[in-house]
Chain A
Amino acid sequence: MRSLTAAAGKKKAAKTSTIQLPIICDADTLRSLISKKAVRVVDVRKANDYKQEHIPTAISLPLARVLENDAPEKIVSILEELGVSDKTPVVVYDDTFGALAARVAWTFQFVGHTNTALLEMTFKQWKELGLETEESARTFPKAKHSLEVNKSIYADASYVEAAKSQPGKLLVDSRERLNFLTEHIPGAKNIPYTMVGSNGSILRKAEELKRFIENRGIADTTEIITYCGSVGTLSGLTYYALRLAGFQNVKLYPKSFKEWKALGKPREEFKDATYWDLSAE
């Protein structure tokens, strides 16, 4: 079965000269791939937003659908439905600073799709630059995709709990500073998702991200597990930021702090200051 799928993939690759995408796909690369019909563009915004307009050739896959169907088998069948085979280059975008796109991209990677990139910008920025959009909804012929769960990028609560006391492993909380100060998983360090992007780009340049990590004295051989508040979106973006910064061993704890709390696991709190009152929100 597997070899058949691979052969099908190869055949397709030969036809459309498949390329291996980097973590971040810039607008020009995407536009060129679109014009060559050599990419599957995935729009993870709400279905209605997609219906109004989207990047040419994009198909709709709202994040909620991915979260509802988080069993790897279901994700693979979604990929197949979207016409994505093993080698198809996939570019994902959203309208919320890349976090939703990152969570979907991670999920694809988790089930074994190894050629997924994040669009460097949000749909809003794409529009602001005056780039092409279209209104018509797209569908593609169903493809065949293999299932090969990549456990090396995944962490669950018990893994996180064990990792806390293991040398060379670091837990990173991606939530904003005030949320982190209020409570977090014991031992976690805070790299707020707001740190990893910058105006015009969902992720900063690799060397900048590298410098941030280096400032913190984190060795590049460290295994890092990222988490955030509830479903692994903010931490999904941090996952890719760390990958871009050169970390090879990064894991996402997709059920994040919401599950951790529900399981009644220990929390570290900081109650000696009334920092929330500094916010002008």
Chain B
Amino acid sequence: MKKVKVTTVSPRQKGASVPKPNPKWGREEETEVFAKRVKLFRQGKISEDDFRRFRLQHGAYGSRLHMDYSMVRIKVPGGEMTPEQIEKIASLSEAFSIGSAHVSTRQNIQLHWVQLEDVSEVMRGLVETGLTTREACGNTIRNVMCSHFAGVCPNEAFDATPYSMAIARFFLRNPMCQNLPRKFKINFACCDLHGLEKVADIGLVPLTKEENGTMVRGFKIYLGGGLGAASFIGHQLEDFTAESRMLATCMATVRLFDRRGNRENMARNRMRYLVHETGWEKFQKMALKERSIVEMTTSYSTAQLFDIESQEDTRHLPNAPRMAKLPMLNDSVTKDSPGFERWLHTNVAVQKQESYFTAFITLGAGDITASQLRVLASAIRDYSAEGVARNTPQQNFAVRYIRGTELRDFYEKLASAGLANPGALTITSAVGCSGTTSCNLAITNSHRLAKEVQRKFLELGLDTDDNLRDATIKISGCPNSCGQHEIATVGFFGGATRMNNAMVPTYTMLFGGSSGELGKAMMRVPAKRVIDTILKIIEIYKQQKSTNETLQQWVSGVSKGRGVGSIKNLEDMKAALAQVIQLPASDIDADAYMDYGSDSRFSAKTARGECAA
């Protein structure tokens, strides 16, 4: 009788020639240390403060008003994930979390409501597939972001991915950044259009320059940007930073911040405050000087820790078969168009590689179930020639290197699991942080609101309106900008307001933001009036717009007082919306006074944030 061996056979990777190797970000010994520390903490042998610092350093946040549970933040450099990693996260979410995983706005994957005692088991599973939670929270260098278009972007000077990975590896567990004054964020863009380089402590955009007849690689580097209770746009350090000076520039900036950052006032200790208080010109001089010192003093062995070459994808990806007729990405569609055409129009982008395409998976505020993750993993294996996917700051997934000839099959596969919703690249793909679903700081349920906005907008077919396409809706549950509300066309952050003698969950609405410009706070809108308010704005835009003006352009104009119709500025806009935000008395419409996801009277409950531990 033949013996039965119950093992899962390594699945065939149809799409890619060779699967990507395990990136080995994680270390098994760290999971054991974590389990031990939890026990010591429970036995009262470590103080709460010490334990919190340790826990955050290893990527586990306390959950909203319930410290027995953690949010485990999985650091995913550049958002790049293999099918094995996606499947592992599916299993871990089922076993230890809530059966769904959550894509953050900084390319992390978060597992919520994990019992503190199980966190080490989650970490153990992650390590098997090369992932880590190390330094995903706490006063460290957080996940290094890289544009999900890097490597396929038609506008990019070169692929920033290996640089971003090399930087992530250099700083991970590096003694120089284990106890910074506050968290520190590094974002790589692909080009000036697709990145978040201006809202990070260090933002980098690839750039080439001709020097003595040869093209040299380098970056535009922005310092001191960031979103939060007070937000700033980064300053460009110099015209061109050669790639050979990139590491030194980053190290110098981190060192300056480490030495001079504010370690006393937790509310003002991000580097952007240091830059602001020092004054950019002075800070710029300091940074350049520090860089010279770093360049003179960096040891050979330290420099060896930064290795771009080892991070390059050396696999040779085959050319995609040429298509007699290219897919009609630009054909206009309506909400009654066939599902595939609508999806093609609103979820698929061209790549610089001929006949290859990048398709986006539309999620609701970044949530995806374990079984959907498994279908996604299988779809990546079957259809992506690079055999990986990237999660995006819009809380979606980008699957790249799909042959144009296979887009329909790919779509069908996703559709079977409810993953083929349209609208990923449009206004309907609203961003929402986790809000009151799990965060201590949240005042409102921004998460659910973002999903409600998406649901309503898709139902109305707003994804098919190309004039709305480049506009964005981003929602945070408190003034701290995890939902990135300042860089949205129309952004919202949660609060509480007394109206008609009752507390109401409200959002402060911001107008006219973009990835390089901060929106302006305008007015407070009750949570249950947010959707109507956005729809009213769209209605007014349609009456007021000049020919070919998109919603994003129109809103931006109004926010600068440059409106050409009867709505010239924010004051006019406010007056036009005054009616929509009214609430009837609470005994007439009790629901209007409650937050989404709640059937009881609203009260603002928060606890201490752990961002600055």
A residues whose Cβ falls under 8 Å from a Cβ of B:
26-28, 31-32, 35, 120-121, 125, 129, 131, 176-178, 181, 190, 192, 194-195, 198-201, 211-212, 215-217, 270-281
In this assembly, does B564 line the interface, its C-beta being within 8 Å of a C-beta of chain A? no
What residue of chain A has the Cβ atom nearest to residue B449's Cβ? A277
In this assembly, does B342 line the interface, its C-beta being within 8 Å of a C-beta of chain A? no
Measured in the bound complex, the distance between the Cα atoms of B43 and A216 in whole Å is 11
C-beta contact mask, B169-185 vs A, less than 8 Å → 1, else 0?
A: 00000000000000000
B residues whose Cβ falls under 8 Å from a Cβ of A:
1, 3-4, 6-8, 35, 38-39, 42-43, 63-66, 91, 94-100, 102, 112-113, 115, 117-118, 120-121, 363-364, 367-369, 372, 434-438, 445, 447-448, 451, 595-598, 600, 605
B191 to chain A, nearest CB (A): 31
With A178-B98, A212-B121, A270-B66: A277-B596 Cβ-Cβ less than 8 Å: yes
* Contact between chains at A274 and B113 (CB < 8 Å): no
* Contact between chains at B3 and A177 (CB < 8 Å): no
* Contact between chains at B436 and A273 (CB < 8 Å): yes
- Can you give 10 contacting A-B residue pairs, CB < 8 Å? A26-B4, A177-B97, A194-B95, A195-B95, A195-B96, A273-B64, A273-B437, A275-B438, A278-B113, A278-B434
With A121-B6, A194-B99: A280-B113 Cβ-Cβ less than 8 Å: no
Measured in the bound complex, the distance between the Cα atoms of B368 and A200 in whole Å is 23
B1 to chain A, nearest CB (A): 6
* Contact between chains at B66 and A279 (CB < 8 Å): no
* Contact between chains at A275 and B118 (CB < 8 Å): no
Contacts of B3 in A (CB 8 A): 28
Contacts of B447 in A (CB 8 A): 274, 277-278
* Contact between chains at B438 and A272 (CB < 8 Å): no
B508 to chain A, nearest CB (A): 20
Contacts of A280 in B (CB 8 A): 100, 363-364, 367-369, 372
* Contact between chains at B102 and A120 (CB < 8 Å): no
With A273-B66, A278-B100: A198-B597 Cβ-Cβ less than 8 Å: no
What residue of chain B has the Cβ atom nearest to residue A278's Cβ? B437
A240 to chain B, nearest CB (A): 17
What residue of chain A has the Cβ atom nearest to residue B600's Cβ? A271
With A277-B447, A277-B597: A215-B121 Cβ-Cβ less than 8 Å: yes
Contacts of B35 in A (CB 8 A): 215
A112 to chain B, nearest CB (A): 32
With A27-B6, A270-B66, A281-B369: A276-B364 Cβ-Cβ less than 8 Å: no
Contacts of B4 in A (CB 8 A): 26-28, 31, 129, 131
The 7 A-B residue pairs whose C-beta atoms are closest, nearest first, are: A280-B367, A274-B597, A277-B448, A272-B65, A273-B64, A280-B100, A216-B117
Measured in the bound complex, the distance between the Cα atoms of B451 and A279 in whole Å is 11
* Contact between chains at A278 and B438 (CB < 8 Å): yes
* Contact between chains at B98 and A176 (CB < 8 Å): yes
With A177-B113, A201-B6, A212-B121: A272-B99 Cβ-Cβ less than 8 Å: no
A171 to chain B, nearest CB (A): 15
Contacts of A212 in B (CB 8 A): 118, 121
* Contact between chains at B437 and A198 (CB < 8 Å): no
Residue of A195, A273, A279 ringed by the most chain B CB atoms within 10 A: A273
Contacts of A176 in B (CB 8 A): 98-99
Contacts of B112 in A (CB 8 A): 275, 278
A56 to chain B, nearest CB (A): 12
With A217-B39, A270-B66, A272-B65: A278-B367 Cβ-Cβ less than 8 Å: yes
Contacts of B66 in A (CB 8 A): 181, 270, 272-273
Measured in the bound complex, the distance between the Cα atoms of B447 and A192 in whole Å is 25
Contacts of B64 in A (CB 8 A): 272-273
* Contact between chains at A275 and B96 (CB < 8 Å): no
Measured in the bound complex, the distance between the Cα atoms of B98 and A195 in whole Å is 11
A124 to chain B, nearest CB (A): 13
* Contact between chains at B100 and A281 (CB < 8 Å): yes
Contacts of B113 in A (CB 8 A): 177-178, 181, 275, 278
With A120-B6, A275-B438, A280-B368: A31-B1 Cβ-Cβ less than 8 Å: yes
What residue of chain B has the Cβ atom nearest to residue A197's Cβ? B95
A180 to chain B, nearest CB (A): 9
Contacts of B39 in A (CB 8 A): 215, 217
Measured in the bound complex, the distance between the Cα atoms of B25 and A127 in whole Å is 37
